[in-house]
Structure 1
Amino acid sequence: MNYIKKIQSKHSNEFTLTIIFIGIFILMGALSPDKFLSINNIKTMAFQMPEFGIMAIGMMITILTGGINLSITNGAALSAIVTAFILSSDFSETNPIMGVVLALIACIIVASLTGIINGTVIAYIGVAPMLVTLGTKTLFEGIGLNFTKGGAISGFPDIYSEIGNGDLLGIPIPLILYIVVIVISYLLIERSAWGTEVFMVGCNETATRFSGINTKKTLMKVYLFSGIMSGIASLIISSRYNSAKTDYGSSYLMQSITAVVLGGTSISGGHGSVVGTIVAIAIMQVISTGLNILGVNRYIVDIITGGILIVILAIRFISKEMADKKMIKLRSASSVK
């Protein structure tokens, strides 16, 4: 019965978010029809949203376990910097195709290593995810700064910029990558045995461990998956800007957490959906783009994002408290009978 209620609640949340998205899209379109509804603006959002969305999916899976990945943007930046060194080398200049292939492989390897480091300390040593990823956030940022000396690395082969700026049959390549990531993530998280384990760990890790599931292995895969997502996002970011720097994509940290929570994922883990997160990402992209078009200061947009997160968390907490009190009353009433 509880499982059925959770499924109904999930679909209800997704439906509500879809209505909100449509409403906000119509509102922004009405406020600035010439700019917001222009083909150029829609295309720009299609190029921008994937890097944010892929990062948010990487954040979502860690929150599903009751954890978090505060180093996701710094891991992405470090992956992009290593990629940039290969792309700007003499080898890539004389062999652009091979250079891009090696850079892509290096990016995923570095991104995977960032996930493995987080996963090892969290899963096998048992340190709290917030503390671990806060530490690795500083570690990855420090390594990146040491490599770049605070500057940007540029001078990539033209073929590499196609990843973030090109299109296929009129469809932006970043959007195609995003759709592929969404489908794979949905199948892994919501339609696989491992995905079920992820939800179980988020609900109760101790009970899951005693049920015979290797929770350490599950958590390791979660942070590895999160790291790989940050690597894919970094490819889009660095190719779109045709450069790499330690602070590229840094704003996505808070935005991704907000999108995940807005999408219905419980901050304490065990409940959430990929579809809900995707719709929430679209909502935030529309709000951000719409406010920028209306001339709202970028820092005000950050304030609004933080405000949305606080309000959502407060509403979810109050709702949970009310639901718990209602459950206690029902149990008390049934015991009296």
Structure 2
Amino acid sequence: MKMFTRDANFFRLLIVFAIVFVICSVLQGGKFLNPGNFSSMMNQFPEYGLLAVGVGLALMIGGIDLSVVYLANLSSIIGGKFLLSVIKPEASEGTVMLLIFAGFLVAVLVGAAGGALNGLLISGLGIPAILATLGTQSLFWGFGVVLTGGSSLSGFPVQLTSMLNSSIGIIPVTVIIFIAAALIAGLIVSRTMLGRQLKMYGNNNTATEFTGLNNLKLVVTTHVISGILAGLSGIIMWGRYSSVKADNGAAYTMQAILIAVMGGVSPKGGIGNVQGIVLAVLIIQMVSSVLNMFNNIPTACRQIVWGGLLLIVLIFNYMVNENAKKKH
């Protein structure tokens, strides 16, 4: 109860979650509560959930990251090319697994490097976050196209796909990756000095300079974490599609921003938490599940839904904030 009084947005999200759950149950009948449907939903959200957490961190410092999807793809492409270059047909099972994990590490490191580039452009050179990440979005996409020749890159060991599409008990490995990453990010935001500093910076980045805070280090570190999350998302997409491509998950940018804002992260910076983002991920996945009922719905219509929801959330948050100001 104490948590609810501290975070009214999280309480509202719980209510929305319950309402959406009931609506989905009614619309889909017994199919929604079917274990197979839950398993299908669990396999879908980790990749864009990780991106949403990364975008949320960027928003908390008063910026934004439009490059996460293409950084995720570039990470998996470079990791994939590395794996194909070092693996041999006669390699033993143990060697194959070791090289697969090496490929994953390369992908994560590429994600971290891309995040560092974003941070340096934003804080080091003073380029507005929206312009810097719009530029790196094109940069990452372009490198991805060049490295793959504009097509998908495949031919990876079956062990890679099997591992990333397996489950531990009833929980998919990809969900475990998402939970672990979200838990670590949540602890960083809520329990560490870095988390307090990034919210201070998001509230007033000029004032933080007079406190002795190293703004450059803070922004770069935040974007490195976002880049690592993008790298993990790229790995999950790599396993799900059994291939890597420069434009996988192209629609995820809008979803990631929507989820972060719905989860209570202020686009102005300084406000937000990871648990709200996680709950928003589950809500959006249920909405997506309903949309999947209509097999012939065009991608453009889905984008209309996500864009419309984002505007509704922004307008609602504005009204709530204005009402709070009047009360004070």
Contact 1:148 1:245 in 2 (8 A): yes
Corresponding position: 1:14 with 2:10: yes
Partner of 1:47: 43
Count of aligned pairs: 322
Counterpart of 1:27 in structure 2 is 23
Cα 1:94–1:223 change in 2 (3 A) is farther
Question: Tell me, which stretches of 5 or more residues in structure 2 are unaligned?
Answer: none
Deviation at 1:322, TM superposition (A): 4.4
Question: What letter is aligned with 1:277?
Answer: I
Deviates more, 1:124-133 or 1:316-325: 316-325
* TM-score normalised by L of structure 2: 0.93
> Aligned partners of 1:127, 1:90: CA distance in 2, in Å?
38
Give structure 1 stretches of 5+ with no counterpart. 328-337
Contact 1:86/1:99 (8 A) holds in 2: no
For residues 245 and 260 of structure 1, the distance between their equivalents in structure 2, rounded to whole angstroms, comes to 25
Deviation at 1:173, TM superposition (A): 0.3
How far, CA to CA, are the matches of 2:320 and 2:6 in structure 1? 15
Does residue 107 of the first structure (1) align with residue 103 of the second (2)? no
| Greater CA drift, 29-38 or 282-291 | 29-38
2:4·2:10 contact (CA, 8 Å) conserved in 1? no
Q: TM-score, normalised by structure 1?
A: 0.91
**What SS class does the counterpart of residue 56 from structure 2 fall into?**
helix
Matches within 5 A, 1:101-250: 101-250=101-250
Q: 1:113 to 1:92 in 2, by over 3 A?
A: farther
Aligned-partner Cα distance in 2 for 1:204–1:115: 22
Counterpart of 1:251 in structure 2 is 251
1:269 aligns with 2:296: no
C-alpha spacing 1:150/1:323, structure 2 compared with 1 (3 Å): same
Task: Please give the alpha-carbon distance, in whole angstroms, between the structure 1 residues aligned to 2:17 and 2:296.
Answer: 20
Secondary structure at 2:247's aligned position in 1? coil
Percent of matched pairs sharing the same residue: 34
Aligned partner of 1:317: which letter? Y
Distance change >3 Å, CA 195–CA 129, structure 1 → 2:
same
| AA matched with 1:313 | L
Q: Displacement of 1:9 after TM fit?
A: 6.2
Shift of 1:169: 2.3
- The answer as to whether partners of 2:47 and 2:234 remain within 8 angstroms in 1 is yes
Find the counterpart in structure 2 of residue 302 from structure 1: 303
In structure 2, the CA distance between the partners of 1:203 and 1:93, relative to structure 1 (3 Å rule), is farther
The CA distance in 2 between the partners of 1:29 and 1:111, in whole Å, is 38
Amino acid at match of 2:305: I
Structure whose alpha-carbon radius of gyration is higher: 1
